[in-house]
Chains A and B, each alone.
Chain A
Amino acid sequence: MTTSKPLSPADADAFGRELDALRAEVLADLGQADVDHIRRMIRLVRYTEVAGRVLLHFGIGPLTFALGVSALGASKILENMEVGHNVMHGQYDWSGDPALDSKSYEWDTACPAEDWRHSHNYEHHTFTNVLGRDRDVGYAFLRVNAAQPWRVHHLVQPISAAVLALLFQWGVGMHDLRINETLAGQQPVSELRRRARPFLRKAGWQLAKDYVAYPLLAVFNAPRVLAGNLIANGLRNLWTFGIIFCGHFPEGVQLYSAEQTSTESRGQWYVRQLNGSANIEGSHTLHVLSGHLSHQIEHHLFPDLPAARYPELAPKVRAICERYGQVYNTGSFAAQLGSVARQLVVNALPSGRNALRSVA
């Protein structure tokens, strides 16, 4: 597999300046069309949710059940990915609309938005793929890259990854609790308890909503509604797991060490974001349902530009990468997912290769 050409500090700066220029172009052009897009998405989320719930609550037979589950699942996927994730990044803060405000948005998943804004927007996006700093690398318990040290529990990681996929919202929700650190004796139980409080509140609310309140409203149809909500949540879990794992864990994605990045320039930060991310090629529908995380590279270069702008940025970013000899990691959903699966299997076993890529 080809790797990116190491860039001198001057080249990295030039690379960064070209990306800054792209960013400035989009910023200068933000306006009504961007706000219209995200509001259209919010409408789609709300209307599909109502359609899904009505079909589940009042429908009879398997066809309306399947339709209801699909509509509700699609609604949750869109809400989490295209609306929630992107709004919380501050992609629409410039609009000044309180409904699109990154700091007060709360989403329909087990993870409290406040935890997410810290662990994702700050930790993951600042220290992307830096071992020991970015806790999203294998979610701190999977070995997705040979540069990570091998532990015995990695032997069963194909199975633990499958379980994580099914329960992904709970995995994401408990991510900021750092349970593994408490198990390893690095975090006191009291700190764990403090971190758990917002999660438990949010989780309780989510469980009460989907598995108590709505089924109760359905009276006789309660079991059907409960099952429908469970499957819709599960579908959303599988989809988000797939998209997110394809973003950082396919073969060829680079990991970095804290020392390598301690004196990083803005240009070198861009280089790391590029080499730490991978894209998925596909249709407009796939892009929207992935919250445009199918353009993970553009997202990591420009996390606070409206995500719907990534498709128009992608060819320009790719052209810049070619000129600087940087690998633009992209492939079909099947190819990238297969690559992630191979990484999970191969790295379940101990391997000798343990070198981190140098940034410079």
Chain B
Amino acid sequence: MLALLARAPRRTRALSRFQGTGARLAASAWRRWFLDRHAEFWLGQLGSAWSPSELRARVVEVIDETADTRTFVLAPNRHWPGHRAGQYVAIAIEIDGVRVRRCYSISSGASAPGDRIAITVKRVVGGRVSTWLHEHLTPGHVIGLGRPQGDFVAPTSASPLLLVAGGSGITPVIAILRDLENRDAVHDVVVVHSAREDADAIFGRDLAVMALQHPGLRLVAHRTATVGRLDAATLESLVPDLATREVYVCGPSGLRGLVRSIAGDRVHSEAFTAPIVCAPQPDLAVRTVQLRDRRLTLAGTGTLLEQLERAGEQPAHGCRIGVCHTCRCTKQRGTVLDLTTGRISSEPDEEIRLCVSIAHSDLELAL
């Protein structure tokens, strides 16, 4: 009897160990490698946007908005979590063999998993990504997609609204408007849409139609080519009850500053920050580095690996001469010089090797 009692738990243990092994196997890196990667490959061969793990989207339609602005309607795969109107998303495309990522506001209203979304892209002179999108991205293409981000989102309360948009800053604003429209919540909204002239006012026609359909929507089409830039006095005369409204502004920093100077804390704003290219400042000795969960100050000379080690960090590394790639990490923001290639890396989310990189600005590293 005693022996039986003693043996029973052992059998259970053996059983649970067996089950544990099965679970580990199912979740192991090798399952991901052998099953998921093979699946990725064959799905890629079929040109499918479906993927076991990656968030991707197929381009279903391309719409010309203005002479230099296009809307790309995307059908995300099953990994799309849905988004709130006003949020932005990173897209990943490949240009000359290199994957590049850029963030764009979603110009369609809120989405649920399975819904289509749209991004609206103004072609920037000399802009590599926007130019590529305009020249190459056609229906049928599959592109990489990030998760939706940002807290410049449609209001849930019913308070009176003022939406101010400058240039391509209209894209998240129209998303918020469409969301209000879908929810039948366009009660008391003023939209001030600043653009150079009618021809390059993105969504100018859509806004005009919306204003006709909704008595609760007042549209102020401000055209800088004819009446000059928006200033505080003009804005206050255009929207006399500005003080009573919840304010949303998206556009150039001048416009955001202007609106904030009048409306103060009631402003939700969104900046379209182009990738920050920090000018190299090799003479500045002290830099701060933001890691995933802490901020460090790096002082003294040497490579990033040496500086991080002096600051008490222990990043994974191997050869210390740029050969083995063990210390590779993603630099999310900032500028570094690669000593072995002489190359300056200043774009966001580039891979760098700590042991041969010199910080040229404050940095953000995925460590």
Contacts from A to B (Cβ < 8 Å): 20, 23-24, 27, 30-36, 42-43, 46, 89-90, 93-99, 102-103, 106, 117-118, 121-122, 125-126, 201-202, 205, 209, 266, 269, 303-304
Contacts and interface: CB of A to CB of B under 8 A. Distances in A.
B37 interface: yes
Contacts of B25: 205
B41 A31 contact: no
B351 interface: yes
Contacts of A126: 318-319, 321, 323-324
Nearest to B353: A90
Contacts of A93: 325, 328, 351
Contacts, number: 91
B115 interface: no
B54 interface: yes
A202 B24 CA distance: 12
A45 to B, nearest CB: 9
Contact of B97 (A20, A35, A98, A201): A35
B28 A201 contact: yes
Interface residues of B, number: 33
Contacts of B225: none
Chain A binding surface SS class: helix
Given A94-B351, A126-B319, A304-B325, A205 B30 contact: yes
Contacts of A118: 318, 326
Nearest to A43: B45
Q: Which residue, A99, A102, A122, has most C-beta atoms of chain B within 10 A?
A: A122
Find the residue from B40, B42, B45, B98 having the highest chain A CB count within 10 A.
B98
Contacts of A304: 323, 325
A269 B340 CA distance: 14
A303 B96 CA distance: 22
B218 to A, nearest CB: 46
A205 B340 CA distance: 39
B165 to A, nearest CB: 33
Contacts of B12: none
A36 B323 contact: no
A32 B98 CA distance: 8
Interface string B306-321: 0000000000001101
A34 B229 CA distance: 49
Nearest to A92: B97
A95 B318 contact: no
Given A93-B328, A122-B318, A32 B30 contact: no
Interface of B: 25, 28-30, 33-34, 37-38, 40-42, 45, 54, 92, 94, 96-100, 318-319, 321, 323-326, 328, 340-343, 351
Contacts of A46: 38, 41-42
Contacts of B323: 121-122, 125-126, 303-304
Contact of A94 (B92, B94, B98, B342): B98
Contact of B41 (A42, A94, A102, A117): A42
B94 A97 contact: yes
Contact of A103 (B37, B97, B328): B328
A98 B318 contact: no
B326 A36 contact: no
A92 to B, nearest CB: 9
Contacts of B343: 27
Contacts of B38: 46
Given A24-B342, A93-B328, A31 B319 contact: no
A91 B225 CA distance: 51
Contacts of A266: 321
Contact of A32 (B29, B40, B97, B351): B97
A142 B28 CA distance: 35
Nearest to A125: B323
Contacts of A30: 97
Contacts of B100: 96
Chain B interface, >50% SS class = mixed
B324 A121 contact: yes
Contacts of B96: 31-32
Nearest to A300: B323
A244 to B, nearest CB: 18
Contact of A97 (B29, B37, B99, B324): B99
Contacts of A117: 324-326
Nearest to B320: A126
B321 A269 contact: yes
Contact of A202 (B30, B42, B98, B351): B30
B29 A95 contact: no
B109 to A, nearest CB: 31
Nearest to B144: A98
A304 B323 CA distance: 7
Given A31-B96, A202-B30, A96 B351 contact: yes
Contacts of B98: 31, 94-96
A36 B94 CA distance: 12
Contacts of B325: 89-90, 93, 102-103, 117, 121, 304
Nearest to A91: B325
8 contacts: A23-B341, A24-B341, A102-B325, A121-B325, A122-B324, A205-B28, A205-B30, A304-B323
Contact of A102 (B54, B92, B319, B328): B328
A99 B37 contact: yes
Contacts of A31: 96-98
A24 B322 CA distance: 14
Contacts of B351: 93-94, 96
A46 B42 CA distance: 9
Contacts of B97: 30-36, 95
Given A24-B342, A90-B325, A106-B34, 12 more contacts: A27-B341, A90-B328, A95-B94, A97-B99, A99-B41, A117-B325, A121-B323, A122-B324, A126-B324, A201-B30, A202-B30, A205-B28
Given A27-B341, A42-B41, A269-B321, A121 B30 contact: no
A20 B340 CA distance: 8
A98 B51 CA distance: 13
A89 to B, nearest CB: 7
B324 A125 contact: yes
Given A106-B33, A205-B34, A122 B328 contact: no
